[in-house]
Amino acid sequence: MPAFPPDSPLHAFSEVEVNAIFEAGRERTAAVDEVIVAEGEPGDSMFFLLEGRCEARIGTGKAVRTYEPGSYFGELSFINAGHRRSASIVATAPTRMQVIDQSSINALLDSHPRAIFTLLRRACAFLVDAERNLISDLRRRNTELQDTIKKLEFTRQRLNQEEETARTDQLTGLFNRRAFDSELPVFMARSKAIGSGLALLAMDLDHFKPVNDTLGHAVGDFVLRGVGKILAQGVRKTDLPCRIGGDEFVVLLADLNESAAKMRAEVLRAAVNAMPHPGNDQGIRITTTMGGTMYREGETLEQFMQRADEALYAAKRAGRNRVGWE
CB atoms within 10 A of CB 139: 6
Alpha-helical runs (H) found in 37-170: 75-79, 102-111, 113-138, 143-166
Residue of 3, 9, 18, 8 lying closest to 122 (CA atoms): 9
From the candidates 169, 204, 239, 247, which is the catalytic residue?
Answer: 247
3-class DSSP state for residue 228? Answer: helix
Is residue 110 among the annotated active site residues? no
CA dihedral 74, 76, 77, 83 (to 10 degrees): -130
Residues 259-282: b if buried by 16+ CB within 10 A, e if exposed = eebbebbeebbebbeebebebeee
CB atoms within 10 A of CB 250: 25
Q: CB–CB of 13/21 below 8 Å?
A: yes
As a whole number of angstroms, the distance between CA 56 and CA 70 comes to 16
250, containing H or E segment: strand 248-254
Residue of 244, 247, 202 lying closest to 227 (CA atoms): 247
Task: Please list the active-site residues.
Answer: 247
